[in-house]
Amino acid sequence: MTQYSLSTLFFSELVGTMLLLLLGVGVSANTTLKRSFGHGHDWLLIAFGWGFGVFVGASVAWRSGANLNPAVTLQQAFTGSLPWSYVPLYLVAQLIGAMLGALLAYLAYKKQFDTHDDPASTGGIFFTSAAVRAPAWNLTTEAIGTFVLLLWIHESSPFQFGVGDSAPQFGNSALGYAAVAFTVIAIGASLGGPTGYAINPFRDLGPRIVYTFLPIKQKGSSQWGYSWVPIVGPLLGVVAALLFYLSLGNTSPAS
């Protein structure tokens, strides 16, 4: 396995996560802000925007294995695909990247934010919330969506998510990072309705932090009281996925 420098791994994860959030928050802004050409809540467009945001970010971040998600990083560490010593580096890079991506999306739509006639509704562009607030069930939804994502990552072969040796070669045997996009689109279209499908703790936390400090006049609450759900829910999905792998008898947590 090719060993890249820690700085290369760090910036690979940072830039990949930044692009994911730039495009994901961007599609949410495009469909929400009234002075945008894409205005009109089209859930399928949002699902496609986030899904192919994953494709773009992952394609750029192949050197680090394109985790872009703490849940994926923890999965990789537990199953031995990623050294535990890399985990803090990856998590810091992902959080910073998520914040930068959200900030860039805001700057791209700055004038639309300035002219939006319902600034209290703009929080949903950046972070998730529950359609029906019921923490136990909201956690369940997030855990199930993350479980689906991690199960696909673990079981998809020959496509793997370890630290990359070379740029992915996409052939008939695997769609590569496009297949990840399709999986995220499927999760969003099918399971995204109850909670907005964070399935990634930093996809929610990074933009929520940025929104708290953005100079949007009369903006709504950052809803910090709910913020633990899109963090804990995906982590429960990691636990469920690991238990499933162990039940198959072919995967043991890394020592």
pLDDT digits (tens, 9 = 90+) for 190-217: 999 999 999 999 999 999 999 999 999 9
The enclosing domain of 68 has a CATH number of 1.20.1080.10
Domain boundaries, position 237: 6-246
Residue 231 has pLDDT above 90, yes or no: yes
Asked if the structure places residue 253 within a domain, the reply is no
Asked if the structure places residue 252 within a domain, the reply is no
Task: For residue range 7-28, list pLDDT tens digits in order.
Answer: 999 999 999 999 999 999 999 9
Asked if the structure places residue 124 within a domain, the reply is yes
State residue 155's pLDDT score. Answer: 73
Asked if the structure places residue 86 within a domain, the reply is yes
How many independent structural domains does the chain possess? 1
Asked if the structure places residue 183 within a domain, the reply is yes
| pTM exceeds 0.85 | yes
CA distances from 107 to 20, 113, 126, 155 (A): 16, 9, 13, 38
